């Protein structure tokens, strides 16, 4: 059984999303909850970016007891120094430093050469090591970096003392097979990589962040970088709740994590509330509809046996129960079930009569609520009298 480290970057990659900015107290509250959730690493912020973020990283470093606290920096001396200062009181500090390695980053953004990028990478890691022992190097846009050159960069930073090697698919470009092969290639071509943690940091531009992260661990990565609700730059990052449940439910015989899955739903809601960023209703694991059933065919199945249409028990992720939502597509079984929840056990004749009225009501609105059911029941009682 391989233990997969969960590196949460909700407070850094997630927080840099327009509209999601958190103040220091909000960051502290969420850091505490992320630690309770069981993440191994909390990326608390980008200390040089603002005095507020510096203070947040510093305070989180003091507050967090078990998780590693990480601060981001570019491969720039001043960034690294400020990150080192912000993390000075953390119990388990980590500096996360790096730069772009794809041709697009090297030639268009950084306007430099491949050789100079390696020199800068090595210099950044060596300098970060003067502040902390635990240094994570990111090869930005590794997803679009040619494997042979990526292996050269990674070899150089391993030799310089990097402890964690982050292979980001920054633009969400890779297909799962391709990304898995990239991780495997590195494990086979970098000497000493087995002494380091290989990390994957996948973005969701093509909706493949979760699939790519899983392909990464299936090919040798032992850390996944992710965010609650999948928030992050553009289409977001890999979702913490998704990888945690995939590893637990589908790959539990090979991998484990420290995540307490019962806290996934409550913490998803807290993140959404603090950031003012709603979660799409059909979001896997934490969306409002993740355990809701509305069509008659599905409702009939779930009422008879929950697992006909649910692969996860909602309580396992902190949701009280599955929902039977009444709409014009619902059947008699669902209507009887919802009346029963209100303490009303309908006979077959009563159910037939109620269903007729229900369909009229349901056709006129999006969903039929308990209040509507009470009115239907009252109307039936009056008709009988």
Joined together, the tokens standing for residue 163 give 């402890």
- Stretch touching ligand KIV by CB under 6 A, among 165-173, 284-292, 305-313, 327-335: 165-173
* 213 and 244 Cβ atoms separated by less than 8 Å: no
- Stretch touching ligand KIV by CB under 6 A, among 166-174, 280-288, 302-310, 356-364: 166-174
In the bound state with ligand KIV, the residue whose beta carbon lies nearer, of 166 and 219, is 166
Say whether residue 138 binds ligand KIV (CB under 6 A): yes
Say whether residue 300 binds Zn ion (CB under 5 A): no
Interaction partner, residue 14 (Zn ion, ligand KIV, none; CB < 5-8 Å by kind): none
User: How many angstroms separate the CA atoms of 77 and 254, rounded?
Assistant: 40
Q: Least distance from C-beta 260 to ligand KIV, angstroms?
A: 26
- Stretch touching ligand KIV by CB under 6 A, among 84-92, 164-172, 254-262, 287-295: 164-172
In the bound state with Zn ion, the residue whose beta carbon lies nearer, of 13 and 274, is 13
Neighbours of 227 (CB within 10 A): 26
User: How many angstroms separate the CA atoms of 107 and 91, rounded?
Assistant: 39
Q: Least distance from C-beta 209 to Zn ion, angstroms?
A: 10
Joined together, the tokens standing for residue 342 give 């209100």
In the bound state with Zn ion, the residue whose beta carbon lies nearer, of 34 and 324, is 34
Say whether residue 170 binds ligand KIV (CB under 6 A): yes
Phi/psi class of residue 168: alpha, beta or left (left: φ > 0; alpha: ψ in -120 to 50)? beta
Q: Least distance from C-beta 328 to ligand KIV, angstroms?
A: 44
Cα distances from 40 to residues 46, 106, 222, 229, 260, in angstroms, run 18, 32, 12, 18, 12
Q: Which residues, 340 to 369, sit near ligand KIV by CB under 6 A?
A: none
Instruction: Provide the 8-state DSSP code for 107.
Output: I
Beta bridge mates, 183: none
* 108 and 101 Cβ atoms separated by less than 8 Å: no
Q: Least distance from C-beta 249 to ligand KIV, angstroms?
A: 27
Alpha-carbon Rg for the chain, nearest whole angstrom, is: 25
CA torsion through residues 367, 373, 374, 376, sign: positive
Q: Which residues, 2 to 61, sit near Zn ion by CB under 5 A?
A: 13
Say whether residue 140 binds ligand KIV (CB under 6 A): yes
Q: Strand pairing of 68-74 and 41-45? A: parallel
* Residue among 166, 199, 227, 229 that touches ligand KIV (CB under 6 A): 166
Say whether residue 13 binds ligand KIV (CB under 6 A): yes
Instruction: Provide the 8-state DSSP code for 6.
Output: E
Q: Least distance from C-beta 230 to ligand KIV, angstroms?
A: 13
Say whether residue 140 binds Zn ion (CB under 5 A): no
Q: Least distance from C-beta 242 to Zn ion, angstroms?
A: 16
Closest C-alpha among 147, 190, 39, 168 to residue 98:
168
User: How many angstroms separate the CA atoms of 167 and 149, rounded?
Assistant: 13
Mark residues 174-213: x for contact with ligand KIV by CB under 6 A, - for none. ---------------------------x-x----------
Say whether residue 330 binds ligand KIV (CB under 6 A): no
Which spans of this chain sit near Zn ion (rule: CB under 5 A)? Answer: 13
């Amino acid at each position: 059984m391989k233990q997969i480290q969960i590196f949460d970057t909700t407070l850094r990659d997630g927080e840099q999303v327009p509209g999601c900015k958190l103040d220091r107290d909000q960051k502290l509250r969420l850091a505490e909850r992320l630690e309770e959730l069981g993440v191994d690493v909390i990326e608390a912020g980008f200390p040089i970016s603002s005095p507020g973020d510096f203070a947040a990283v510093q305070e989180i470093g003091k507050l967090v007891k078990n998780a590693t606290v990480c601060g981001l920096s570019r491969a720039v001396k001043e960034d690294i120094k400020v990150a080192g200062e912000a993390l000075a009181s953390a119990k388990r500090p980590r500096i996360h430093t790096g730069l772009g390695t794809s041709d697009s980053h090297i030639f268009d953004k950084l306007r430099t050469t491949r050789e100079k990028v390696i020199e800068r990478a090595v210099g950044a890691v060596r300098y970060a090591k003067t502040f902390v022992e635990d240094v994570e190097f990111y090869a930005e846009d590794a997803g679009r970096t040619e494997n042979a050159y990526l292996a050269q960069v990674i070899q150089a930073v391993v030799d310089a003392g990097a402890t964690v090697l982050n292979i980001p698919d920054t633009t969400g470009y890779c297909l799962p097979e391709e990304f898995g092969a990239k991780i495997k290639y590195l494990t086979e071509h970098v000497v000493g990589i087995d002494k380091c943690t290989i990390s994957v940091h996948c973005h969701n531009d093509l909706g493949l962040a979760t699939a790519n992260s899983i392909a990464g661990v299936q090919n040798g990565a032992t850390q996944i970088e992710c965010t609650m609700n999948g928030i992050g730059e553009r289409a977001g990052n890999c979702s913490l709740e998704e990888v945690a449940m995939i590893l637990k439910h589908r790959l539990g015989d090979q991998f484990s994590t420290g995540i307490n899955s019962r806290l996934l739903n409550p913490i998803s809601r807290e993140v959404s509330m603090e950031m003012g960023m709603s979660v799409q209703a059909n979001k896997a694991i934490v969306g409002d509809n993740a355990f809701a059933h509305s069509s008659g065919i599905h409702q009939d199945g779930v009422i008879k046996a929950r697992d006909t249409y649910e692969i996860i028990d909602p309580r396992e992720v902190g949701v009280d129960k599955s929902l039977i939502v009444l709409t014009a597509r619902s059947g008699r079984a669902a209507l009887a079930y919802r009346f029963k929840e209100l303490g009303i056990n309908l006979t077959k004749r009563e159910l037939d009569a109620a269903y007729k009225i229900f369909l009229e009501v349901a056709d006129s609105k999006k969903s039929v609520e308990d209040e509507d059911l009470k009115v239907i029941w009252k109307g039936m009682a009056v008709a009988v009298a």
